[in-house]
Amino acid sequence: MKIAFLGAGQVGAPIARHLADAGHDVVLAESREGSASVAAALQRAPKLRAAPADEAVRGAEVVFLATPFGANESVLRPLADALAGRVLVDCTNPVGAGLSHGLKSERAGSEYVQSLVPGAKVVKAFSIYGFENFENPAYPGYALRPAMLFCGDDRDAKARVATLIGDVGFEAVDVGGLAQALHLEHMTLLWVRMVRAGGGSPNLVWGALRR
């Protein structure tokens, strides 16, 4: 697939690297001249390339959003036309004071993202774990892969994202429509409270068992 990344920091860079290694055509949007994160990602993964944001998005079928939540409006508004009809994978999390939900749990961050770019097909994914698990999603010795819960309203968009989740090394677990993103964002807060605030190991993921 042709994939673009808006944001190539702790979250964007490792996911971009895994997808390029899996054979996808991955371009990093140059958010600003001299972006340290884009330069570092390119140095670490020569298969990646960079392009101006508008060009990167227009050349992509799937676009990842991995910027600070507070930057989403300024990042997305100028790209609204370019994003129309494209899949937008929202990896961002609204985090408020005291590790609370940044939108007071009144609506999901992904619903807010969708409101900024009404023509895009927003899918929330790659959001529920710390970046360490995007760097290295392997949990050797288990029959299960780590579960990556994802949600969105467009069936075709979700099918594409499910493929990409698998290509990075997770089991894709579809949890429903975009309204479910609020609950994924609370799962993130649970993980962050356990690990970042509670002193737990970041090498912690959820597994999906079924019978």
Q: Where do contacts with ligand NAP occur on this chain (CB under 6 A)?
A: 7-12, 31-32, 35-37, 66-69, 71, 74-75, 91-93, 127, 130-131
CB of 29 to ligand NAP, least distance (A): 8
CB of 45 to ligand NAP, least distance (A): 14
CB of 150 to ligand NAP, least distance (A): 13
Query: Which residue minimizes CB distance to ligand NAP?
Result: 9
CA quadruple 152, 101, 131, 133: dihedral, nearest 10: -70
DSSP 107: S
Nearer to ligand NAP, 23 or 70 (CB): 70
Q: Residue 124's Cα: distance from chain center in Å? A: 7
Nearer to ligand NAP, 8 or 148 (CB): 8
Nearer to ligand NAP, 100 or 156 (CB): 100
- The position carrying tokens 């690297």 is 17
CB of 110 to ligand NAP, least distance (A): 11
Nearer to ligand NAP, 33 or 143 (CB): 33
| Residue closest to 190 by CA, chosen among 146, 134, 127 | 127
CB contact at 8 A, 1 and 166: no
Helix/strand/coil for 77: helix
Nearer to ligand NAP, 183 or 211 (CB): 183
CB of 10 to ligand NAP, least distance (A): 4
Nearer to ligand NAP, 75 or 143 (CB): 75
| Residue closest to 107 by CA, chosen among 55, 170, 181 | 181
CB of 25 to ligand NAP, least distance (A): 19
